[in-house]
Structure 1
Amino acid sequence: MCASLGLMICAILTAGWVDTPPADPLRMFGDYSAPVFSMFSAIFAFLALSSRLTEPAGRPMTLLTSGLSLFLLLLAAVLPAVTDLHMHEAAIPAVAGACLMIQRSAGIALLPARGDRSGLPEAAGSVGLAAGTGSLWLALDPAVFPIAFATALLLSWPCLFDGINAFADRVFYRAAAAAGARDLAPGAFPAVTRARHILVDKAAIMSGPDLMVSNVMAFNNEPRTLLAVAASAEAHATHPVAHALRQLAVQWRVALRTPDRYEPEPGLGAVALLGGQTVVLGTPDLLKRLQIDSFTADAIARSLEADGKTVLRVAVGGRVVGVLGLEGTLRQDAGVAGRALRNEGLEPWLHTNDSLKTRQALADMLGMKTPADAVPGETAADTSLRLFEPGECLVLSLSADRQALELFEAAPSVPERDDEVRPIAVSDCEDIGAFPALKALASRRDQLALRARRTLLALWAGCGVLGATGLLSIFVAPIVFGAALAALLLYARISVAGAFPAPRRNQESQ
């Protein structure tokens, strides 16, 4: 970049616009010194961008800028031969072409493009303005054509446009970290802005990973016998229900056996072979699928489910022998987080594989909604895709190591890809309030990007028009570039401070 700027200065000194003694020794290429120095300046600026061309983000704008820069350099070389323009007048497009490449290189270095906005429509407007200007001056005064055309194109060129969103993200990353959200993915803020619903997995709103067995209700045997059968069937399982059963077995000093076979049914329960008999622990859906009558157990379970407890039926040899009630401690701030999410425009939904009555009881406690047509064993991601359009719903769940909360953007699975779905944001388990704050920050970030785009487009368009009329020269291009950066920084400070609050959405429309 320093070499490119140095060559640009040489081009200006040798163009004849500035009468300085040191300029004569620099005219090593004679009358073509200014275009040649401009050409080398553009080449060095392009080399600084060459490593970025392998990345899709920013490549369209960079290639278009390079093409226009080459066109201006060729125009400067052709004009003296086909017109009566002096070389110092014909050199203006060459200097403008070099400036285009320098500004693009500096813009990419300061605001790396992310790729969601190419800037090509805005660039097309700049080209249209310059072409209209050139055509008009060709008809009125051909001698003014190269100056007006090059100046209008340079001053109206949106060199920073495709980096505005990435800049807005970077500004708000620190604010999100202060609110408790970390490890934000590149598209986290746009994903949160688009979403209108959030599906909260039950594990994410529990105060800890452990469940507690609160009810052991045996029909024909002692509760200890029922616990021994259930805990033995789950002797080697690793899910929270198995841990709770084994923990109570230790407290009751119940001896456990090892099952001969264990087949988990995710979201439904498990089937084990213990002492030659089939033991089933699970929901009514699992028992119904295995054609086991659970009418008596269902009647007993209703009162437990009304309290928001997880109820498991235990069947041995095809007959239900008891009911287990399990419960965990809900986070005290879970209900507050649900209201905060709704205030920020996200409708919270509760996902759990419990029975409908248990789901409704928990949802009422937390002020959330629950899907009425839940599919047994369905994951939170599958539920969100079944209920909502892609991009409309986020999923909040507990991490696999149960040490963090993870926010995902629900998207259809692609069988051909083995890539692991990664969260767009993560927080500590105690920072569930980070996600309502993230939604608020995403709205402010969206306002920042929108206002910045409008302001910069107005700045570039105004300067382009002034350059086309001759009121501004190409020498103000660095000033326009600096003014664009200053506008971005000013909007960033105001937006983070909350001076651009996002308009409240009409809750009835959601």
Structure 2
Amino acid sequence: MHIVGLSTLLITGLALLGQNIARPRAPSLERMTFCASIAAGGIALPVWMLTDDPANAEILLLTGSLLTAPRLLALFTRKPDGVSWKGPLRWPRVQAGLSLLMAMITAAVWGLLVDLDAGVATGAAALVLSWPHFPDLLDQAVVRRAFKTAREFGAEFNGPAALTALSRTQSVAFDKASLLQSSVPVVTDIQSFDNKPEPLLSVAASAEYFARHTIGAAIRAIADDWGLAQAAPDEWEEVPGLGCVAMIGGKSVAVGNGKLMSELGIDCFTANAMCKPFQSDGKTCIFVAVGTRLVGLIALQSALDPDTPPVLANLKQRKIRTLIVTGTDQRAAEGFARNLTEANILTDIRQADRLSAAEKALGDAEAVFMSVADSGRRGLFSLSPAAAMSERLMVSIETGRLGTFPALLDLAAETVERLRLLRLVACVIGLLIGLSGSLGLVSIQIAAFVLLLVAGTVLALTRRVDP
């Protein structure tokens, strides 16, 4: 028994040391339960060395082993994806404190009323039975169940912390593209000042030959549909958020918005007036200039995702503030959001600046930002200033599943509440079981079998909900 107890404590101590070295930012709940278990087991060693009674020494070492062994079990049964919970520690901490208090009172009362041996035995039994052995494994079971449900919604959570952050959401900012049925717009109108749309479209498509932006893709697509020639430009430069400038056949060609034309000193007063009807319909106007002369404009429109209005209405019912961030000007943005009265609009924001602009506009840690990745999946990013950029992606949602966003909010809130109740119930049950040891109804030897039974049940529960 001495060798088993000492070996268990030594192995667990080394595991704790390796865990803290390998993961210095390990979740505080994990660190607390590791350290508390090691400390409780470590107290047994000096007491064992000072006592002459082998029976007491065996009981103390058995107690230390029973406290530390579940930590090893939790460590070695954790999945490679590192599912762990970073939620509040209130109930495990309360349970651990009350467990120690119960054990000390039990040992003192039995030691005074009966004898030292009885005090050690009952105190050890109370401690082992009431200690919070498996809070992380219980949390793991609940979190994995939530992840499995999220996948049925077409979503992937980027770790358990995303559940907490999403459950606290008070504001949501949307990149305009995340509210569209497709990230690639469609050309709806072509206005050429010389009434020859084909040459205008051919020049614009050639200028956008190397462009990776969705507008460039839309212009090239309609030029292909019309069977127009597209030549790679001799020189090409992208102006982020504004458009592009190219050299084609020795002539300078600019394709972009009004800001680009202003920077190039090209007058677009007449074109701006022509754009107003298009912008009122929520369309985006792109100007085309050859040399220093504006030769026409192209209007594009993106179809709104049919789930967008009900999602925004749902968020309004939840009293969640919404914001749409777009690169278009105020008139085009107002036309786009004409039927989306639930949201405020932030206009003229370049793509690369939209996340930071949303963070500045909303200005609180309980906000998220939705945008579209290159793969077409929507991503939910934390706007918390405390979150590192590598940790900001919380959830990714499959294409065409925008309507599941309210369900994800419900799932996150329900999971956090379920975890809170589970910890509370585990705390109460653990202390009630510990009370049976404190009253002398369960011996330390039987407590070992009780702990083994609980461990098997928890592991079975965890495996059952594994995806």
Q: Shorter-chain TM-score: what band?
A: 0.7 to 0.9
How many angstroms does 1:176 deviate by?
Answer: 1.2
Mean Cα deviation higher: 472-481 or 255-264? 472-481
CA-CA distance at 1:170 after TM superposition: 0.7
Alignment equivalent of 1:222, drawn from 183, 196, 212: 196
Residue equivalent to 1:158? 132
Equivalents in 2 of 1:140, 1:288: separation in Å? 93
Q: Distance in 1 between matches of 2:258 and 2:310?
A: 32
Task: Name the SS for the 1:364 alignment partner.
Answer: coil
Is the contact made by 1:287 and 1:293 (CA closer than 8 Å) also made in structure 2? Answer: yes
**Structure 2 CA distance, aligned partners of 1:361 and 1:131?**
71
Aligned to 2:412: 442
Higher relative contact order (CA 8 A, sep 6+): 2
Work out which of the residue numbers 433, 447, 464 in structure 2 matches 1:476: 447
How far did 1:264 drift?
1.6
Deviation at 1:375, TM superposition (A): 3.3
- Asked if 1:61 is matched to 2:33, the reply is yes
% identity of equivalent residues: 26
What is the correspondence of 1:32-431 to structure 2 with a 5 Å cutoff?
Answer: 35-43=2-10, 52=19, 54-55=22-23, 56-57=26-27, 58-80=30-52, 86-109=53-76, 114=84, 116=86, 122-134=95-107, 143=116, 144-182=118-156, 184-220=158-194, 222-343=196-317, 346-366=320-340, 368-372=342-346, 375-389=349-363, 391-402=365-376, 404-410=377-383, 423-431=393-401
Shift of 1:441: 1.1
For 2:138 and 2:262, the matched residues in 1 are separated by 56
8 Å contact from structure 2 (residues 328, 347) kept in 1? no
The 3 A distance-change label for structure 1 pair 363 and 122 is farther
Larger radius of gyration: 1
TM-score (structure 1 length as normaliser):
0.76
Q: Give the residue type in structure 2 aligned to 1:71.
A: I
Structure 2 Cα separation of the partners of residues 71 and 100 of structure 1: 11
SS in 2 for 1:103: helix
Take 1:355 and 1:398, find their aligned partners in 2: how far apart are those partners? 20
**Which one-letter code corresponds to 1:406 in the other structure?**
G
TM superposition score normalised by structure 2: 0.82
Q: Distance in 2 between matches of 1:296 and 1:442?
A: 52
SS of the residue 1:267 aligns to = coil
Deviation larger for 47-56 or 180-189: 47-56
**Aligned residue number for residue 467 of structure 1:** 437
Distance, in Å, in 1 between the alignment partners of 2:421 and 2:392 is 31
Which deviations, in whole Å up to 9, do the C-alpha atoms of 1:243-274 show, x marking residues without a partner? 22223333444444433332222222223334
**How far apart, CA to CA, are the structure 1 residues paired with 2:336 and 2:200?**
27
Q: Distance in 2 between matches of 1:92 and 1:428?
A: 56
SS across alignment from 2:328: coil
Rounded to whole Å, the distance in 1 between the matches of 2:441 and 2:207 is 86
Residue 452 of structure 1 deviates from its aligned partner by: 0.5
State the secondary structure of the residue aligned to 1:408. Answer: strand
Q: CA deviation at 1:240?
A: 2.1
Alpha carbons 2:74, 2:136 under 8 Å: kept? no
Provide structure 1 residue ranges, at least 5 long, that are not aligned to the other structure: 1-10, 12-34, 81-85, 496-510
Q: Which amino acid aligns with 1:101?
A: T
SS in 2 for 1:400: coil
Q: Which amino acid aligns with 1:310?
A: T
Distance change in 2, residues 1:126/1:226 (3 Å) = same
- The residue identity in structure 1 corresponding to 2:42 is L
- Per-residue deviation at 1:422? 7.4
Instruction: From the superposition, tell whether residues 371 and 477 of structure 1 become closer, same or farther in structure 2 (CA, over 3 Å).
Output: farther
SS of 1:371's equivalent in the other structure is strand
CA distance in 1, matches of 2:458, 2:8: 28
Indicate if the aligned counterparts of 2:312 and 2:343 stay in contact, CA closer than 8 A.
Answer: no
Q: Is the 8 A contact 2:379 2:395 kept in 1?
A: yes
Output the amino acid matched with 1:479.
V
**CA distance in 2 between partners of 1:467 and 1:105 (Å):** 24
How far did 1:125 drift?
A: 4.3
| Alpha-carbon distance between aligned partners in 2 of 1:147 and 1:316, rounded to the nearest angstrom | 93
Q: Provide the aligned length of Structure 1 versus Structure 2.
A: 452
Worse-superposed segment, 449-458 or 170-179:
170-179
Q: Is the 8 A contact 2:369 2:382 kept in 1?
A: yes
1:330 partner amino acid: L
Cα distance change of structure 1 residues 177 and 105 upon mapping to structure 2, 3 Å threshold: same
* CA-CA distance at 1:454 after TM superposition: 0.7
CA distance in 2 between counterparts of 1:360 and 1:344 reads: 24
Aligned-residue offset at 1:141? 5.6
Structure 2: stretches of 5+ with no match in the other structure: none
Residue type at the aligned position of 1:130:
A
* CA shift for structure 1 position 96: 1.3
Give 1:325 shift: 0.4
| Distance across 2 between alignment mates of 1:270 and 1:347 | 35
Deviation at 1:164, TM superposition (A): 3.9
Once residues 378 and 244 of structure 2 are traced to their aligned partners in structure 1, the CA distance between those partners, rounded to angstroms, is 26
